[in-house]
Structure 1
Amino acid sequence: MEGNRTLLLKQSEVESLIDLSDVNRLVDLTFHGMGEGTVKNPPKVSLDLGETGNWPHYEGFMNAMPAYIGSLDVAGLKWVGGFEGEREAAGLPYITAMILLVNPHLGTFLSVMDGAYISNVRTGAQVAQAIRYLFRKDHITLGLYGAGMQARKTVRAVADAVHIDCLHVWNHREETAQQFKEDMAEVVHGEIIVHEVSDQAGPCQAEVVVTLTPAQEPLIRREWVQPGTVIFPMGSYQEIDDALILEADQIIVDHPEQALHRGALKKLHTNGQITLDDIDGTLGELSLKETGLANIDKQITLCIPIGTGAMDVSVAYEVYRKAKEAGVGEYFDFVG
């Protein structure tokens, strides 16, 4: 018995213990739990450390994301943030994160582990599972804005769940997108098309369009998007224009209250133009259905999985379980 001892796991150990198929399976399990009501997931609490230009001027933020997963009987918290400024100058990645797992019976801390890798892979898995729920078919065409680390994780997760017939890529630096094409050739068995910087509308010809950028100005305009398109605006700011949001036929989210306060919907919600009444459903609800979203081929759909602590806790618990089996990590007694 570990008693009060807590298992400490570093990023390389976390990476060695989990694969994309595991993550896709656990994200699916967690969405089902959210649909069934066996997951508790309060909205994330944000600490502004200069992200919006206000004091203190550290160009960053931290989010606290707690959750309880009934099917796994575990509670936890991800403490995650993004920083530019001094962190960028130090050569550190934008995202920083830790995940703490708690025994919900005793309140003892089971594990503390790096959370950056889990954050990246579960974000991609959320898109992958959402595509499955929305379409209920095994192949799609995919349009992508962004060609960084998160884009790579997302494409890998989607390719693990469905066949990508064609991948359209746009990035503000075309050379980065060309390198992305080379790197993803082993993952995407369909055609990969890199659009020139001047062809910003190019990826919008796909069935599914995903934005994975730090852009603070809209990348996609309403007139580029045709009925039958599903848009995933995954950035922390607003990567699509107001008209596209306001004229969308349906809006699907992972967590209604949370989705209104960060990302694509935040500004319009603050202005009173988008409310809870404008949310048409959740991914948890869709995960329980055997058919895809009605009229998806005739309408414009926004799908916004803003990210929940429940996904992180579920994946982290699997890492913890595998670490114990493999004897990976170090135990520490914080209580003494």
Structure 2
Amino acid sequence: MTTPASGAGNPISIVSEAVCQQIVGRPEAFKAVENVFAAMARGDAYNFPVVREAIGHADALYGFKSGFDRAGMALGVKSGGYWPGNVQKDLTNHQSTVILFDPDTGQLKSLVGGNYLTAVRTAAASAVSIAHLARKDAKVLGMIGAGHQSTFQLRAALEQRDFEKVVAWNPHPEHLPRLAAVCEELRVPFEAVTQQELGAQADVIITITSAFEPLLLKEWIKPGTHIACMGTDTKGKQEVDPALLAAASVFTDEVAQSVLLGEAQHAVASGLIAESDITPIGEVINGTHVGRRDDQEITLFDGTGVGLQDLAVASAAAELADQKGLSQTIVL
């Protein structure tokens, strides 16, 4: 890390994608996300309104997620979006950067690569939901989706329970080997199945797709299942049957966003559930809500992806990078 001369201006740390991958692992991401969910439920952290628009070029969606975590003293914005053609350019579809500011002065503080952190914080959110809502005796993990983020989801989920098997389905089955490879590495049996078979076997299900139609129907899901819906983050997107939310106890990262652009948007719009039926998962973390009530209850986490998650993991990355001398510094 380069130290600027005294009085030379405002020092800004830059944390690259490579450094983020080096220093922020699943434990750090889990802790950061769990803490910020708890702060949100206490009223100590606030997300600001999301801006997300189609730019009319490259079929891209671009936007901003921002907020302030008073408990963690994180203020900033994540700028980026989704470029579906990037896979042909050997780039990840999701591209973003997190910009952090000093809450005491408003000065620019850090620029942090957001691509890896987006994947690891999304996986951390579903892992937090599994830790707090899944049955303790859950043995079979189901994966719906096998895209870039799926392996992050799989690795984080497998650490939360003593899973004995992974079953998976993807609209494009040729991508399933990436999940099978992780299971082979971790010595967990893997099976590619139909959607109905997945519902019949799985005790925990993660959906991580960009679907605009239900991929799981209510009648396929057995009692006691925990479902983490992680792909729906835009108006119109949908991964599960709205009737499934009506049959489940629904939890989320942020209720307002869940209703507006999360998986719950469809169930609320059709009158199957009300906004008041959705519980912030931070209340479970804080002990102000019981969470799962019994082993027959279906629980569902609507992981919409809030800006505070990005700020939390980016702040952790910036702090660790500075401590380890791995950040670069520029002066404005």
Give TM-score, length-normalised by structure 1. 0.87
- Maintained 8 Å contact 1:96/1:115: yes
Corresponding residue for residue 68 of structure 1: 68
- Maintained 8 Å contact 1:24/1:161: no
Aligned residue among 189, 195, 203 for 1:200: 195
1:184 & 1:290 partners in 2: Cα distance? Answer: 36
Q: Classify 1:179/1:133 alpha carbon distance in 2 versus 1 (closer, same or farther; 3 Å).
A: closer
1:39 & 1:133 partners in 2: Cα distance? Answer: 20
Deviation of residue 128 (structure 1)?
0.7
Deviation of residue 69 (structure 1)?
2.0
Quick check: 1:212 aligned with 2:218? no
Deviation of residue 273 (structure 1)?
5.2
| Segments ≥4 residues shifted beyond 3 Å | 87-91, 135-140, 267-275
SS of the aligned residue for 1:101 comes to strand
Aligned residue among 272, 286, 291 for 2:284: 286
Aligned residue among 20, 36, 39 for 1:30: 36
Corresponding residue for residue 261 of structure 2: 262
Corresponding residue for residue 4 of structure 1: 10
Corresponding residue for residue 77 of structure 1: 77
- Maintained 8 Å contact 2:292/2:299: no
1:77 & 1:145 partners in 2: Cα distance? Answer: 30
2:13 & 2:112 partners in 1: Cα distance? Answer: 8
1:112 & 1:34 partners in 2: Cα distance? Answer: 24
- Maintained 8 Å contact 1:76/1:100: yes
Corresponding residue for residue 252 of structure 1: 251
SS of the aligned residue for 2:300 comes to strand
Deviation of residue 84 (structure 1)?
1.9
2:160 & 2:222 partners in 1: Cα distance? Answer: 25
Q: Classify 1:254/1:193 alpha carbon distance in 2 versus 1 (closer, same or farther; 3 Å).
A: same
- Maintained 8 Å contact 1:261/1:269: no
How does 1:86-165 map onto structure 2 within 5 Å?
87-135=86-134, 137=136, 140-165=139-164
Deviation of residue 95 (structure 1)?
0.3
1:72 & 1:277 partners in 2: Cα distance? Answer: 28
Aligned residue among 213, 224, 228 for 2:224: 228
1:309 & 1:291 partners in 2: Cα distance? Answer: 23
Specify the code of the residue in structure 2 equivalent to 1:72. G
Deviation of residue 175 (structure 1)?
3.9
Quick check: 1:309 aligned with 2:307? yes
> What fraction of aligned residue pairs are identical, expressed as a percent?
27
1:138 & 1:229 partners in 2: Cα distance? Answer: 11
Q: Classify 1:11/1:21 alpha carbon distance in 2 versus 1 (closer, same or farther; 3 Å).
A: same
Q: Classify 1:27/1:243 alpha carbon distance in 2 versus 1 (closer, same or farther; 3 Å).
A: same
Deviation of residue 119 (structure 1)?
0.4
Deviation of residue 43 (structure 1)?
4.0
- Maintained 8 Å contact 1:133/1:292: no
Most deviating of 316-325 and 160-169: 160-169
- Maintained 8 Å contact 2:134/2:226: no
Deviation of residue 186 (structure 1)?
2.6
Deviation of residue 106 (structure 1)?
0.6
1:290 & 1:148 partners in 2: Cα distance? Answer: 35
Unmatched runs of 5 consecutive residues or more in structure 2: none
- Maintained 8 Å contact 1:258/1:306: yes
- Maintained 8 Å contact 1:98/1:114: yes
Corresponding residue for residue 299 of structure 1: 297
1:310 & 1:80 partners in 2: Cα distance? Answer: 15
Deviation of residue 109 (structure 1)?
1.1
2:198 & 2:49 partners in 1: Cα distance? Answer: 32
2:150 & 2:284 partners in 1: Cα distance? Answer: 24
SS of the aligned residue for 2:212 comes to coil
SS of the aligned residue for 1:332 comes to strand
**Superposition RMSD in Å:** 2.3
- Maintained 8 Å contact 1:152/1:184: no
- Maintained 8 Å contact 1:136/1:292: no
1:34 & 1:238 partners in 2: Cα distance? Answer: 25
Q: Classify 1:43/1:175 alpha carbon distance in 2 versus 1 (closer, same or farther; 3 Å).
A: same
- Maintained 8 Å contact 1:134/1:292: no
Deviation of residue 92 (structure 1)?
2.7
Deviation of residue 136 (structure 1)?
6.9
1:232 & 1:128 partners in 2: Cα distance? Answer: 9
Q: Classify 1:194/1:287 alpha carbon distance in 2 versus 1 (closer, same or farther; 3 Å).
A: same
1:82 & 1:103 partners in 2: Cα distance? Answer: 28
1:179 & 1:129 partners in 2: Cα distance? Answer: 23
Give TM-score, length-normalised by structure 2. 0.88
- Maintained 8 Å contact 2:242/2:266: no
